[in-house]
Amino acid sequence: MKIKLFGAFLFLCFLILLFFNFTFLQATEKEFKPVLPKLQIEIPGLRFRDAIVEDEDGQRYLNIPWIADFISAFFKFFISAIAIIATVMIMWAGLLWLTAAGSASQITQAKTKISNALIGLVIALGSYLILHTVNPTLVKLKSIKILAIKRIELELAELEKTSKSAKDKPIGGWIEKEDIKTYNDALKLAAQQNGLNCTLLKAIMLVESGGRPKVVSSAGACGLMQLLPVTASQIAKEELGKKDEVTCDELKNPPFNIQLGAKYFRRLINNPCPKNARLKSGKLADCTKHPCGCSVKEAEYFAVAAYNGGPGANCCSTTCKGQTWWECEENPGFSETRNYVKKVFNTQEYLIGKGWDC
C-alpha cells in the first residue's frame, strides 16, 4: 500500500513538472534566434542545449534537443530522488531496529521498511537496465528534427517572368492565356448594371476563384465570385425577386454568379464604413467612436477589403489609431484580408498592363 502511495506521489510530481512555460523561438524574416526554454520549476542538473540549424540533402532542418534534455534530466532526478528516499528509509529502519530492545513487532516493522526501500531502488535502477538491454536507443533520446520552410512572397511581376510556356499562365496559374477573356461579356454587363469598374470586378473574380466556375471553398463559398449560398440568396431575393434559396449548384453558373457578386460588391461600395460591427464575443462595437481612414471617397478600396473580411473589417480600430480593423497589423485575424487587398489591386494593374482589362 505504501509503495503504491509513494508511486502516486512521484507521478503527481511528474505531472506538476510538466506544466511549465517556455519560449521556443524568436524569429524574424531576417534572422533566426533560438531561445532556450525557461522552466517554472527548475530540475537540478538540467541544462538545455541550443537548437541547431543544419543543412541536409539540400533541405534545412532545425534540431531541437529540449524535450530530450528535459526527459533525460527528469529521469536522472527521479532515480536520484528514489535513491535518497530509499537511503533515508533504510537509515530510519536501522534506527528502529537498534532501538527495538528485543521487540519483535518493531523489528518486523524495521525489516519491512528496509525491504520496501530496497525493492523500490531495485525497480528504479532495473527499469533503466532493462531498457538498455532490450534496446540501447530507448535510453538515448534524440533531438526532434523539423524541416524549415522558407517563406516566399509571390508578386505578380515575378509570376510574369516565370510564365513563358506556350500556355502562358500569367496570374499565378489561375487561368490560361487564351481563356483570359472568357467571362468578359458577363463581367461587362454586370459592371454596367451596377456602376462598377469592370477590370476591378474581374480582378476580384480571379483572386477569389482563379477563374474556375465550379470551385467550392472549405467555408462553402461557391463559383467564380466565391459567394456563400446564404448571402447569394439574400441578394437574389431583394434585388432579383427570387423566392427560392440559391444553391451552390446554381452559383456554379458563371453569368448568374458574376451578377450576384457584382451586386454584392455594389452594396459594399455604397456602405463601406459600418457604424457598428460584431466582436468575437458577440457584443457590438461602435465603429464611429474612433475616427479612421475609412471613407466614401475611397469606397472601392475599402469595399474590396469588406468583400474578403466582411463589412465589419472596416470598423475603426481602437488599437491602431486612424486605421480600420483589417489595416491594423496588430490584429492577426485580418492578415488574410491585408494580403487580399494587395492581390486584387495588383491583379487589376497587371490586367491593364497586359491589355486583358474589360
Where residue 289 sits, what CATH number does that domain have?
A: 1.10.530.10
Burial class (CB in 10 A: 0-12, 13-18, 19+), 255: middle
Residue at which a domain ends, from 114, 147, 180: 147
| pLDDT value at residue 162 | 37
Based on the fold, state whether residues 165 and 125 are members of the same structural domain.
no
| Closest by Cα among 227, 217, 219 to 253 | 227
Helix segments in 99-179, DSSP class H:
104-134, 156-161
| pLDDT value at residue 257 | 94
Per-residue pLDDT of the chain (358 residues; tens, 9 = 90+): 545 545 554 554 544 444 444 444 444 444 556 677 777 777 777 777 777 777 766 677 777 777 777 777 777 787 788 888 888 888 888 888 888 777 888 888 888 888 888 888 788 777 777 766 777 766 666 777 777 666 554 444 433 433 333 333 444 444 444 457 789 999 999 999 999 999 999 999 999 988 889 998 888 899 999 999 999 999 999 988 888 899 999 999 999 999 999 999 999 999 888 877 777 666 777 777 777 777 777 889 889 998 988 888 888 887 788 788 888 887 777 888 888 999 999 999 988 888 888 8
Based on the fold, state whether residues 272 and 163 are members of the same structural domain.
yes
- Amino acid at site 18: L
Number of domains, the chain: 2
Burial class (CB in 10 A: 0-12, 13-18, 19+), 10: middle
Based on the fold, state whether residues 89 and 199 are members of the same structural domain.
no
| pLDDT value at residue 258 | 94
- Is residue 290 within 8 A of residue 318, CB to CB? The reply is yes
State the cell numbers at 225: 465570385
| pLDDT value at residue 329 | 80
Would you tell me how many other CB atoms lie within 10 Å of the CB of residue 334? 23
Based on the fold, state whether residues 340 and 258 are members of the same structural domain.
yes
Give the domain extent around 295: 156-354
Residue at which a domain ends, from 112, 128, 147: 147
| pLDDT value at residue 32 | 55
| pLDDT value at residue 167 | 34
Q: How far apart are CA 285 and CA 336, in angstroms?
A: 21
Residue at which a domain ends, from 147, 178, 209: 147
Q: How far apart are CA 243 and CA 241, in angstroms?
A: 6
- Amino acid at site 70: F
| pLDDT value at residue 250 | 92
Based on the fold, state whether residues 222 and 131 are members of the same structural domain.
no
Based on the fold, state whether residues 22 and 103 are members of the same structural domain.
yes
Based on the fold, state whether residues 347 and 219 are members of the same structural domain.
yes
Based on the fold, state whether residues 63 and 193 are members of the same structural domain.
no
- Is residue 10 within 8 A of residue 78, CB to CB? The reply is yes
- Is residue 273 within 8 A of residue 295, CB to CB? The reply is yes
Based on the fold, state whether residues 128 and 176 are members of the same structural domain.
no
Based on the fold, state whether residues 268 and 125 are members of the same structural domain.
no
Based on the fold, state whether residues 200 and 249 are members of the same structural domain.
yes
Based on the fold, state whether residues 206 and 337 are members of the same structural domain.
yes
Can you give the pTM of this predicted structure? Answer: 0.52
| pLDDT value at residue 22 | 41
| pLDDT value at residue 328 | 83
